[in-house]
Each structure stands twice: as C-alpha cells, then as structure tokens.
Amino acid sequence: MPRGLFITFEGLDGSGKTTQIKRLAAWLEGRGHPVVVTRQPGGTAAGDRMRAILLDAQGAPLAPMAEMALMFADRAQAIAEVIRPALEAGKIVLCDRFTDSTEAYQGGGRGLESATVLELHRLICADMQPDLTLLLMPNFEASLARARRRNTRAQERTGKNEGRFEAEQDAFYRRVWEKYREIAAREPQRVVRIEGDLNIEEVHEQIVETVAERLLLTVKEG
C-alpha cells in the first residue's frame, strides 16, 4: 500500500487554521480520500494532558526548555500513535501544527534558536517531515486580536483559560511571525505561504489548488 500524504497547517493563533483544516478535510473526503485530522499539542490521551499543562494560563510558569520538551514529548506520542499508523495505512493526515510551530514559538518567540529545535526534531521525531505545509499568514494585528477574543469566549463558555501564549506581548509574536517567514524562505518546496487579507473562501480555494497539485504529483511518483 502506498504511503499516505502528511499535510501540516501553520500560522499564528487566529490565522484560521482550524476552519481551513475542517474545510479541506471535507473537500478531500468528498473525493474519496481517507483523512485523519489531528492537532499538536494534543490529539492523543497523553497529548491532551500535556496540552492542558502547556496552554493553561493560570498554571505554574514553565521554563522555556521545559515547555519545548513537553512539545516534543507530545509530538513523539502523536507520531507513534496517530500520524505514522495513518500514513502507513495510506491515509491523508491533516495536522494542526507540527515542528515548525516549535521552531517559531520556542525557537523564535522564546529565543531558543532553530538549531536546537531542529536537532531535537531529528533525535526525537526521526526527522519526520511533512509532505506539504500550508502557512497561513493573514494580517498580523487582526490574527492576534481574533485569537485573544476567541480565548476570552472559550473561557466564558468552559471556565478554562488556554490563553497562556495569547497573553504574551506583541513583541513575542513578532519574533514568531519572523521565524515563520524564515522557515518558509528556507524550505520553499515544502512550505506554501497563503498571505494577505483574504476571506475564508479565498483561502480555501488556494489551499485546494495547492493540495490538488501535490496529490497529482504523489500519484505520478507512485
């Protein structure tokens, strides 16, 4: 059985990843492709427990290295339990965040540097790489404001505050933003940037066009 396709979504919180993952999954399933949707942190029982620690705005402070170690522990579990088995079964995996997020948030935002993140990825994740990464980069200020509003509404609804990262200052997010741009420039064959003040349908159309091309290439190579 041919290996499946591994597609990751990246971008700041509030960039629209969740909406676009749902739309792409529906588009793929409507064309007969088996799809597995997951997220990081989370996506497994152990990962959800680590997610609670990582995102809890009212929890104990985490040292940057401890934060990054938890991110990679979550990722290793997700690869073993969800991602690799789905790919081996020929399915398309759509993952909300992967190591690019760790490089952007911990490497860039926390100042831990890309080399450290990439070496941990090589050691812990066997250097597993997505076949395609869709990097959503709408307006910086609008994305951040949307993420903060969303977390406020979620806290009012559930009583949980998962806004530890959203509570960071804008300067932190500028470093994350710039690191994402650096990653995209370094790996243009894998990372496709979707930029600008586009509406949901316009973003979806660009994603579908990109994914359709990659699926066609995969079929030809297979």
- The per-residue pLDDT for 145 is 78
Which amino acid appears at position 87 of this protein? L
Of 9 and 220, the one with more pLDDT: 9
pLDDT value, residue 157: 66
The domain that holds 193 is classified in CATH as: 3.40.50.300
Answer yes or no: is pLDDT of 151 > 70: no
Q: Is the pLDDT of residue 222 over 50?
A: no
Per residue in 160-186, pLDDT (tens digit) is: 655 667 667 889 999 999 999 999 999
Task: Assess whether pLDDT exceeds 80 at residue 58.
Answer: no
């509570």: which residue's tokens? 167
For residue 18, what are the contacts with CB-CB under 8 A and spacing of at least 6? 96
CB 82 within 8 A of CB 1: no
pTM of the model: 0.90
Distance CA 103, CA 76 (A): 16
Number of domains within the chain: 1
Asked, as a colleague might, if the bond just before 138 is cis with ω within 30 of 0, I would say: no
Check whether 158 has a pLDDT greater than 80. Answer: no
Strands 92-96 and 35-39: parallel
Domain range for 176: 5-221
